[in-house]
Chain A
Amino acid sequence: MNGRDQHQRARLLLEERSFGIISEPDAKWLAAHLDECAACRVVESDMQSAIALLCSEPVTAPTFLVSRTKASVRIRARELQEHSERTRLLVLSLALALVFTSGTIYGGYLLYLSGWAAVSGAKGLLSAFALVWFWVAPAVLMVAATMYKRDWLQILHENNFGRGLGND
């Protein structure tokens, strides 16, 4: 290896050292070369001063930005939580509606099979009422659950949210 190659290798190894990826044999070679070569010591010094200067430069996040960000994150967290509650409620209502609707269809089918058209008087009225209730029940349950959840979220927000909902 001629002198120029050695300087180039030293430069590459100096970089690798600063990137934290130099191998042990290379580090030994570099140390030995630096002991002998004044020109490469200058390169090393320039590189170190550039890095030191870069690291000395303090940039800090403005306080107002941090406060604003925290506030936005809290608002968004609340929105997401409410959205998730609503989604859960919707799924529950749909499941209930499915159960009641299936029951109604099945009940209707059984009535049809047992000759519903021939049934009369109080028994007929009762059947009609049951049929209507089957259809209305999911909606009633959904409204009740929504009102209950809204109250619960409101109370939670007023009393606890500001004092660190979700903190351990």
Chain B
Amino acid sequence: MAAALQFAAVAGLDSRFDEGAVIARALKRRDPGALDRLIEQYQHRLFRYLLYFTRDRQFAEDIFQETWIRVLERGAQYDPRWKFETWLISVARNLAIDQMRRRMPDSLEDVLSDSEGEQVRELEDANAIDALAQITQREVGSQVAIALQGLAPLYREALVLRFHEDMSLEEIARTLNVPLSTAKSRLSRGLSALETRLKALRGVRR
């Protein structure tokens, strides 16, 4: 299994499909060794996505663990025609939304509303600690944390999928389960909002 995965990667077999098929077979067998390797390979990407989307470190950790259990249980549903990462993140996203729905059903509407012309409002929780801001400020002391802090979760996740995970627009749309036009619109708005915030931040610092 490991050899097959490495072979697919090193030999550069065209092949998202080949690699996907190897992963799909391992998932179907519920092979714990293969799962270990997948966790190693996708740990940072998945955690980063969850942290951007949820803004709550503890919550992101819970969902991270739950996601891999779900991958083990429902691995047979993975379609190797798509990148494993796309499926993984959509599993994580659905779990996060389910949990949010249980925790704070009213606020969830704010998180998920994205119809054209409707302003997406930010989740406001005075008691919640913005873990993303804490981590990024601590680790890189960057402006990103502050700029991202006020950005709607739907925009943050679109931005992270495109620019961190290098997903295509089609993959983003599939992951988020939205039409291409909506994915594009979220990216466009998110990028504009990020630029505006960064500009404002630089203006304040000068």
Contacts and interface: CB of A to CB of B under 8 A. Distances in A.
Interface of A: 15, 18-21, 46-47, 49-51, 53-62, 65-66, 68-70, 72-74, 76-78, 80-81, 164-168
A69 B65 contact: yes
A72 B144 contact: no
Contacts of B128: none
Interface residues of A: mostly helix, strand, loop or mixed?
helix
25 contacts: A19-B184, A47-B191, A47-B195, A50-B191, A53-B143, A54-B148, A54-B164, A59-B51, A59-B136, A60-B44, A61-B43, A61-B44, A61-B47, A61-B48, A65-B61, A66-B39, A69-B64, A69-B68, A72-B65, A73-B39, A77-B32, A164-B33, A167-B1, A167-B31, A167-B34
A56 B1 contact: no
Contact of B72 (A21, A62, A66, A73): A73
A54 B139 CA distance: 14
A54 B29 contact: no
Contacts of A166: 29-34
Contacts of A58: 139-140
Nearest to B42: A61
Contacts of A66: 39-40, 43
B47 A60 contact: yes
Contacts of A74: 32, 36
B13 interface: no
Interface of B: 1-4, 29-36, 39-40, 43-44, 46-48, 51-52, 61, 64-65, 68-69, 72-73, 132, 135-136, 139-140, 142-145, 147-148, 159-160, 162-164, 168-169, 184, 187-188, 191, 194-195, 198-199
A55 B163 contact: yes
B72 A77 contact: yes
Contacts of B159: 54
A51 B132 CA distance: 17
Given A54-B144, A73-B69, A19 B194 contact: no
Given A61-B46, A70-B39, A167-B31, 20 more contacts: A15-B188, A19-B187, A21-B184, A47-B195, A54-B144, A54-B160, A55-B164, A57-B142, A58-B140, A59-B52, A60-B44, A61-B47, A65-B65, A66-B40, A69-B68, A76-B69, A76-B72, A77-B32, A80-B72, A168-B1
B36 A70 contact: yes
A73 B36 CA distance: 8
Nearest to A53: B144
A69 B38 CA distance: 12
A20 B68 contact: no
A143 to B, nearest CB: 28
A19 to B, nearest CB: 6
Nearest to B197: A50
Given A19-B184, A55-B163, A72-B65, A49 B198 contact: yes
B48 A59 contact: yes
B144 A56 contact: yes
A70 B139 CA distance: 26
Contacts of A18: 162-163, 191
Contacts of A165: 32-33
B144 A57 contact: yes
Q: Kindly list the 4 A-B residue pairs having the minimum CB-CB distance in the complex, ordered from nearest.
A: A61-B47, A167-B33, A168-B1, A61-B43
Contacts of B160: 54
A60 B34 CA distance: 21
A165 B35 CA distance: 12
